[in-house]
């Protein structure tokens, strides 16, 4: 009969305590911009912004994009201008300078 030898390898003991995640710190000097700040920056561009561009930037539907533009104008207390450059072209929204 052959004798079986037992392995003497030891297993590393694992802690049964739950691991806590350390919160990720924001880099100093780089505050996170809000959606309103990002939208305001888009509206302040000389060429303005279209609904499609707002949709792409924030991943939202057209009615939500129009609502955000409207609410931002009310929040700032300023009128958001809209214009169509040519027939068939989408409306371009912008905040007037000043």
pLDDT tens digits for range 36-82: 899 999 999 999 999 999 999 999 999 999 999 999 989 888 899 99
Name which CATH class applies to 35-94.
mainly alpha
Calpha distance 76→55 (Å, rounded): 21
Closest C-alpha among 96, 84, 97, 95 to residue 37? 95
- 3-class DSSP state for residue 1? coil
Ranges of each domain in the chain: 35-94
Q: Please tell me the pTM assigned to this model.
A: 0.64
């Amino acid at each position: 009969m052959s004798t079986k030898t037992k392995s003497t390898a030891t297993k590393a003991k694992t802690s049964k305590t739950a691991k806590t995640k350390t919160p990720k710190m924001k880099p100093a000097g780089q505050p996170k911009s809000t959606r309103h700040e990002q939208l305001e920056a888009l509206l302040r561009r000389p060429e303005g912004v279209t609904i499609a561009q707002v949709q792409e930037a924030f991943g939202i539907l057209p009615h939500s994009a129009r609502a955000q533009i409207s609410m931002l104008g009310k929040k700032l207390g300023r009128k958001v201008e809209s214009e169509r450059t040519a027939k068939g072209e989408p409306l371009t929204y912008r905040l007037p300078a000043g």
